[in-house]
Amino acid sequence: MGSHGIKDRVAIVGMGCTPFREHWDKGVDDLLIEAAEETFASAGVAKDDIDAYWLGTAQSGMSGITLAAPLKLEGKPVSRVENYCATGSEALRQASYAVASGAYDVAMAIGVEKVKDSGYQGLNAFPIPNDGTNRTLTAAAMFSLIAPAYSKKYGVSEDELKEVFARIAWKNHHNGARNARAQFRKEMSIEAICSAAPVAGGLGVFDCAGVADGAAAAVVVRAEDAHRYTDAPLYIKALSFVAGSGAGLIDPTYDYTTFPEVAACARDAYAQAGVTDPRHQIAMAEVHDCFTPTELVLMEDLGFSERGHGWQDVQAGVYDLQGELPVNPDGGLKSFGHPVGASGLRMHFENWLQLRGEAPSERQISTVRAAGGDRSLGLVHNLGGYPGEMVSFVSVVGTEPG
């Protein structure tokens, strides 16, 4: 027994990502076609060259036909997967394992979400018949529980913490302003962020990720075949997933300052990839900044900051675009919004650009070898659910085998 991972056995050889927008004029089919075509072109393949597809969507369609029909795939296996807000990453994980197993030579992971057809603000889960006793809180309210808990545990005043959260939002909007695919491309001042209308608990509008439609995709092949498709493949170093037991909701020892699922997931991913000092070995991270307190806690759960010191690192600019370890250089969920099935693949797409030195110069980070730095690893963290009951995905990707 053990989690062995598939380090360096699979590589991403092409990626694509639509702009994330309120795509009033595009349906699920359009978004899937756009992301798929861009990705086929990136990898230099046609749809028939792909042996199997994994489609991630939380609630924009059911079954593989959601992809097979618009792309008119003939005789291809298409699996539709769902794993809360980590759905897009789950599609990549499944496609990678299928290739690593030898079952298929070439696989595509594609994620999509058409959120803006619901007629409501925010994300609204598809209702599953139940006994009516489930919580009906918004995700914002559940994540807002972090702030007072963190404040109390580490003796940071709630006012100071509010500034830390605002700085996270400021940073992600700063980065997103430099990204043509992002939904929100305007820099926000700390003052404007702090004075936004309250949504839940201490969280204001700008502490919350937006909502958008979008799609993104990747083509994966066996590592030894990668150079047939590209001179600069992105090797899969680690893929880790943890589905929480929900114990955090009912266990009185849980204190809302950490996500144990994420910490466990990161440990597993680092073991698979051979990462022992994430803060200094990893060049960049795309993390699930659904709410600003989430990103703060993630800095500690992912091992980038010491426990209780993440807020100081945020304030010191460690995670800024040209900081020691850039986090969400593409602007994150804050700037992109969160089409559930697509977000995980959008995060990988930024790694694809940055690690290979293909990000636009206004936001190219300098920690990576391709841009004069000394690091070659990137990280994606994607979560779904709430504090106490969540799923967590962590991947490590790199431009160099070994």
Partner 1 sequence: MRGILSFGAYVPYFRLRREAIVAAHGGGGGKGTRAVASYDQDATTLAVEAARLALRSLGEDARDLPASLWFSTTSPSYVDKTNACAVHAALRLDRAVPAVDVNGAVRSAVGALQAALAADGPALVAAADLRTGLPNSTDERDGGDAAAALVVGAATEGAPVLAEHLGGASLTEEFLDRWRVPGEPRARQWEERFGEMQYVPLATEAWKLALERCGLEAGDVAKVAVSGLHSRSVRSVAGKVGAGTGGVVDDLTTAIGNPGAAQPSLLLTSLLEQAEPGQVVALVVLADGVDVLVFRTTEALAAHRSLRTLEAQVAAGRDDLPYLKFLSWKGMVTLQPPNRPEPNRASASAAARNEDWKFGFVGSRDRGTGAVHLPPARVSYQGGALDDMEPLPMADAQGTIVTYTVDRLAYSPSPPIVFAVVDFDGGGRLPVELTDVDAADVAMGGRVEMTFRRLNAAEGIQNYFWKARPVR
Which residue ranges make up the site for partner 1 (CB under 8 A)? 118, 120-122, 124, 127, 129-133, 135-138, 140-142, 144-145, 148-149, 152, 198-201, 245-247, 249-252, 254, 256, 388
Between 201 and 214, name the residue whose CB sits nearer to partner 1: 201
CB of 199 to partner 1, least distance (A): 6
DSSP string, 332-347: HHHHH---HHHHHHHH
What's the DSSP call for residue 300? Answer: H
CB of 120 to partner 1, least distance (A): 6
Question: Distance between CA atoms of 129 and 145, rounded to whole angstroms?
Answer: 27
User: Which tokens belong to 349?
Assistant: 């797409």
CB of 124 to partner 1, least distance (A): 5
Residue 134 phi, psi dihedral angles, 5° rounding: -70, 150
Question: Distance between CA atoms of 330 and 349, rounded to whole angstroms?
Answer: 9
Between 162 and 363, name the residue whose CB sits nearer to partner 1: 162
Per the listing, tokens 């939002």 go with 169
Q: 236, 237, 241, 239: which is closest to 392 by C-alpha?
A: 241
User: Measured between alpha carbons, how far apart are the two ends of the chain, in Å?
Assistant: 24
CB of 4 to partner 1, least distance (A): 24
CA atoms within 13 A on the CB side of 84: 17
Residue 196 phi, psi dihedral angles, 5° rounding: -70, 160
CB of 123 to partner 1, least distance (A): 11
Question: 3-state class of 55 per DSSP?
Answer: strand
Question: Distance between CA atoms of 308 and 115, rounded to whole angstroms?
Answer: 36
Question: Distance between CA atoms of 30 and 26, rounded to whole angstroms?
Answer: 6
Q: 99, 70, 395: which is closest to 229 by C-alpha?
A: 99
Q: 359, 369, 344, 376: which is closest to 82 by C-alpha?
A: 344
User: Which tokens belong to 193?
Assistant: 């962020």
Taking a C-beta distance cutoff of 8 angstroms, is the pair 239, 272 a contact?
yes
Between 77 and 122, name the residue whose CB sits nearer to partner 1: 122
Between 156 and 232, name the residue whose CB sits nearer to partner 1: 156
CB of 198 to partner 1, least distance (A): 6
Between 59 and 79, name the residue whose CB sits nearer to partner 1: 59
Between 209 and 396, name the residue whose CB sits nearer to partner 1: 209
CB of 60 to partner 1, least distance (A): 16
Between 339 and 388, name the residue whose CB sits nearer to partner 1: 388
Between 152 and 228, name the residue whose CB sits nearer to partner 1: 152
CB of 288 to partner 1, least distance (A): 19
